[in-house]
Amino acid sequence: MRDNIAKIAGKVRESEAGAILITSPQNRYYATGFRSSAGSLVVTGEGAAALFIDARYFEEASEKIKNAKVVCTNGAKTHELINAFLAEHGVTALAVEEGSLSYAEYTSLDKLIDARFLPGQKLLTELRMIKTSEELDVLIHAQRIAEKSYRETIAEITLGVTEREIAAELTCRMLRNGAEDKSFDPIVVSGSLSSVPHGKPRDIKIQRGFLTMDFGALYEGYCSDTTRTVAIGEPTEEMLKVYYTVLKAQTAAIEAARAGLTGKELDGVARGVIAEAGYGEYFSHSLSHGVGIDIHEAPNAAPSATAVLPAGAVISIEPGIYIPGKFGVRIEDVIWLMEGGNEDITDLSSELSVLCS
């Protein structure tokens, strides 16, 4: 499905390296469309590519991968096979994923591989930021699985259910509705714990106040990400004020979002709305992150994000207000950036739902 070897080769040609060594599972999958827990992929600037992989995956990889030579490493030392491939193609400078390798992995490879190492993480990050129409379709499908599962789950919520049971139900329904897995462990927090942005579900019955659910489905290797906050019981005037301040901030950011803005500029749109309402100190995280093969990937929209947001990026828009010891609210959609605006690929109402009233 995803054949990105040619794109990677093009980026390598623009660099000082003769090839790139790809060792992270996410980037191997991006390059080949094949998922495995192990393997080393080398792509040259001329477009030659070889995946060095052990016998556990060799047969399946050989059948599925059409854009790279598949080499079984059993009975041979992987670094010797890689060195032979580099020598065959005259590669003396090799880009590596310096942001994904541990220090021990990097130093070990540096001793074993017969090439000068150059940084290559940015090369892959820039490619993965821009989603093709095919990738966008997969991301939308992942969103729809998660949204259907959410609707089914909240229809069953009662005061007797626990946070952990809701998280389990969401996960189970996503799997039943076609997900390969959850894209991250669901966040389901209620009452005063809703003020903790990444709180973990507890084995306690849901508390009156706000219930925040942050969840996502994994489909064909791509993630969805959605957050909705609902009221358990009738909301107070203060709860309503906070909720609709967050919704106003999110709406303003979605309306403003477009390729060409910096992440800082987009973050500032939502942050300004929240600050004007008097809750600036309670918006404690960035507005946005990229969504794709990883649940958190480039680009970002944050107070320190000075890079320009590119057309084709898929990002979250998730402002929040978190008042310690009282409650918190977060509302999150995922959007696709275009030159003149964006497309919101989330299909869930953002109006406040009141359950168990």
Segment 337-341 shows an average pLDDT of 96
For the entire predicted model, the pTM comes to: 0.95
Q: What is the pLDDT of residues 109-134, one digit of tens each?
A: 999 999 999 999 999 999 999 999 99
Is residue 1 scored above 70 in pLDDT?
no
163 contacts: CB under 8 Å, gap ≥ 6: 188, 189, 190, 201, 202, 203, 204, 206
Q: How many CB atoms lie within 10 A of CB 144?
A: 18
Angle among Cα 261, 263, 264 to the nearest 5 degrees reads: 100
Determine the distance from the C-alpha atom of residue 203 to the mean position of all C-alpha atoms in its chain, rounded to a whole number: 28
Do 171 and 182 form a contact (C-beta atoms < 8 A)? yes
The predicted pLDDT at position 200 comes to: 97
* Residue with tokens 């854009």, as numbered in its chain: 67
User: What's the token pair of residue 185?
Assistant: 């462990």
Segment 54-60 shows an average pLDDT of 96
The predicted pLDDT at position 2 comes to: 64
Is residue 148 scored above 60 in pLDDT?
yes
Helix/strand/coil percent split, the chain, to 5: 40, 25, 35
User: What's the token pair of residue 207?
Assistant: 């508390």
In the chain the domains, ranked by start, together with CATH numbers, are: 5-128 (3.40.350.10), 133-355 (3.90.230.10)
Q: What is the pLDDT of residues 65-112, one digit of tens each?
A: 999 999 999 988 999 999 999 999 999 999 999 999 999 999 999 999
The predicted pLDDT at position 75 comes to: 80
- The residue ranges of DSSP E strands in 198-344, in sequence order, are 209-215, 217-219, 222-223, 226-232, 288-290, 297-301, 314-317, 320-323, 327-330, 333-338, 341-344
Q: What is the DSSP annotation of 12-81?
A: HHHSS-SEEEE-SHHHHHHHHS---SS-EEEEETTS-EEEEE-HHHHHHHHHH--SSEEEE-TTS-HHHH
Q: What is the pLDDT of residues 171-203, one digit of tens each?
A: 999 999 999 999 999 999 999 999 999 999 999
